[in-house]
Amino acid sequence: MTRALVVDDTPLNLKLITALLRGNGFEITTAESAEVARDLLAAQSFDLLLVDLRLPGIDGLTFTRALRADPAYANLIIVAVTAHAMNSDREAALAAGCDAFVTKPIDTRALVPLMRSLVEKKPA
């Protein structure tokens, strides 16, 4: 089973993403901040991280850069989730080390296929 950590400070977004992924066989853990997510990542193993780019405290881009600087997270799939859909936002997320970029409102038909595709391409 694919284990995913979803980080978003908006409870409704956490609920939606959790329902979509859990309903399609993913095991989901949630966090409201990068700080909480960092502690969860240190304590548990995850295949996938969906992170809102606009978080209080440590923002999603800063968090992604920190994870990518740590070899322990080299194989972690990181997906940026944001309401900011400009090309510059996508480029910044990919430059920070995100593997994919999902815009809000989330396309509920496309999210699960994208997550499955990313997991299937993940190095063993």
C-alpha dist (Å) from residue 50 to 32, 84, 98: 12, 15, 9
Buried b (16+ CB within 10 A) or exposed e, 20-34: bbeeeebebebbbbb
pLDDT of residue 48: 97
Say if pTM beats, i.e. exceeds, 0.75.
yes
Q: Minimal CA–CA distance to 61: which of 36, 35, 98? A: 98
Instruction: Report yes or no: 14 and 50 within 8 Å, Cβ to Cβ.
Output: no
Task: Indicate the number of domains in the chain.
Answer: 1
Residues spanned by the domain of 104: 3-118
pLDDT of residue 124: 64
Q: Minimal CA–CA distance to 49: which of 87, 72, 109, 92? A: 72
Structural domain contains residue 124: no
Q: What is the pLDDT tens value at each position of the chain, 124 positions in all?
A: 999 999 999 999 999 999 999 999 999 999 999 999 999 999 999 999 999 999 999 999 999 999 999 999 999 999 999 988 788 999 999 999 999 999 999 999 999 999 999 999 987 6
Structural domain contains residue 123: no
- We report the CATH number of the domain holding residue 31 as 3.40.50.2300
And the tokens for 42? 């240190």
Pairing mode, if any, of strands 77-82 and 48-52?
A: parallel
